[in-house]
Amino acid sequence: MAETAASLSKPGEGDQRPRHVAIIMDGNGRWAKNRGWPRLVGHRRGAERVKQIVRACPDLGVNWLTVYAFSTENWKRSTEEVLGLMGIFARYIEREADGLSTEGVRMRFIGGRERLEPKLQRLMEGIESRTARNNRLNLTVAINYGGRDELARAANRLAARIARGDIAEPTEADLADCLDTAGHPDPDLVIRTSGETRTSNFLPFQAAYSEYEFTQTLWPDFTPDHLAEILDRYGLRERRFGSV
């Protein structure tokens, strides 16, 4: 593509831009397999792609980016692949901490942390604390995340608040406040790469009114230009939210 991401899609007066984009980053393993390489090579390339998309988002008018890095179901993969992925997550945090801080990115994580290695948990907590004051881009990474698991944990939190007498008649907003994403805006747009057309247990509560885009592009090939084109198409959609 001759155009740059910035030239293809820049926020302007009157533009309809998604404030919050969520991405199901799919296709790393197939990308590597197509080239005769180990699946972990694809995951490493996918991590590099995350860096590029993160850097592109502010110029494209995106203030919140949530990416699906590891699901609760991904533990079923081989021990080698799971350990390799956890190592990639740890290295990403260690290597990108300075850059994220400098570029004004706030990084947070959603999902159950108790199953993750203590070292990785410490790295996650450290970068969350270090970037807490940043606001140029809010980056949320879903690790050991599953929407149904999140809802179950949220229901337990809500039940505890009711038992304490903090809440008399729970509402939808009360449940939202118990989710991992409490305080985050709902995603306006959810993108899934690799040609799959299912949501895979990703943000089922939060994405109830999101627009969806499914692209054939495998995640390691998904460039800022691809994102810009999708944002342009999003701008042509009419979102009614039940109205006429």
| 215 occurs within a structural domain | yes
Number of structural domains the chain divides into: 1
Give me the pLDDT at residue 15, please: 54
| 94 occurs within a structural domain | yes
Residue 19 assigned ligand-binding role: no
| 161 occurs within a structural domain | no
Residue 192 assigned ligand-binding role: yes
Residue 226 assigned ligand-binding role: no
Ramachandran region, residue 36 (left: φ > 0; alpha: ψ -120 to 50; beta: rest): left
Domain at 202, CATH number: 3.40.1180.10
| 7 occurs within a structural domain | no
**Element (H or E) spanning 131, and its range?**
none
**pLDDT digit of tens for each residue in the chain (244 aa)?**
333 333 334 433 345 889 999 999 999 999 999 999 999 999 999 999 999 999 999 999 999 999 999 999 999 999 999 999 999 999 999 999 999 999 999 999 999 999 999 999 999 999 999 999 999 999 999 999 999 999 999 999 999 999 999 999 999 999 999 999 999 999 999 999 999 999 999 999 999 999 999 999 999 999 999 999 999 999 888 776 566 5
Give me the pLDDT at residue 242, please: 61
As a whole number of angstroms, the distance between CA 23 and CA 50 comes to: 10
pTM for the model = 0.91
| 92 occurs within a structural domain | yes
In this structure, how many other beta carbons lie within 10 angstroms of the beta carbon of residue 241?
Answer: 5
Give me the pLDDT at residue 240, please: 63
State how beta strands 20-24 and 64-71 pair: parallel
The answer to whether the beta carbons of residues 243 and 22 sit under 8 Å apart is no
**Would you state the torsion angle of the CA atoms of residues 240, 5, 61, 214, taken in this order, to the nearest 10 degrees?**
40
In this structure, how many other beta carbons lie within 10 angstroms of the beta carbon of residue 79?
Answer: 8
As a whole number of angstroms, the distance between CA 80 and CA 4 comes to: 38
Residue 27 assigned ligand-binding role: yes
Domain that holds residue 110: 18-145+185-234
Residue 217 assigned ligand-binding role: no
User: Hey, which residues are catalytic here?
Assistant: 26, 74
SS3 of residue 166 by DSSP = coil
Amino acid of residue 26: D
Give me the pLDDT at residue 5, please: 39
| 167 occurs within a structural domain | no
Give me the pLDDT at residue 241, please: 57
| 78 occurs within a structural domain | yes
| 28 occurs within a structural domain | yes
Question: How many Cα atoms sit within 13 Å of 143 on the Cβ side?
Answer: 22
Give me the pLDDT at residue 238, please: 73
